[in-house]
Homo-oligomer: A and B are copies of this chain.
């Protein structure tokens, strides 16, 4: 997995957000075991404490469950996952749309640009 980490923000929320996206996308299926802190930290090349922090936040939100004996598993609460997915999406959409419109783009322009971003992205600087 590729981790995109931006140095201008604390690392743990960025990791948390990426893991949330992965969970709601089904990359880690409901009820399935979750990788260990050690493995995740090594994979993302961050300190274990940092990864621990991200996971404990996921736990607070109920997306992952810690079993003392058997490590962590993804929640079985399908509803929670759906709600989370919808909530994140809505937040992203609202702020994205707001910022684009602040720059003077109309909805149709935005959609047109998005549709074209497959090819355009490759080109321009």
Interface residues in chain A, defined as those with a beta carbon under 8 Å from any beta carbon in chain B: 7-10, 13, 18, 21-22, 24-26, 68, 85-90, 92-94, 96-97, 99-100, 102-105, 107, 110-111, 113-115, 117, 120-121, 124-125
The answer to whether B120 touches A90 (Cβ under 8 A) is yes
Decide: A89 and B111 in contact? CB cutoff 8 A.
no
Instruction: Report copies per complex.
Output: 4
CB pair B97–A117 under 8 Å, yes or no, is yes
A100 in contact with B110 (CB, 8 Å):
no
With a CB–CB cut-off of 8 A, which chain B residues contact A100?
89, 92
Partner of A102, one of B21, B93, B97, B120: B21
Residue of B nearest to A11 (CB): B68
CA distance A7 to B103 in the complex (A): 23
A-B residue pairs in contact (CB < 8 Å), sample of 9:
A21-B99, A22-B102, A24-B104, A26-B104, A85-B103, A88-B103, A90-B117, A90-B121, A97-B114
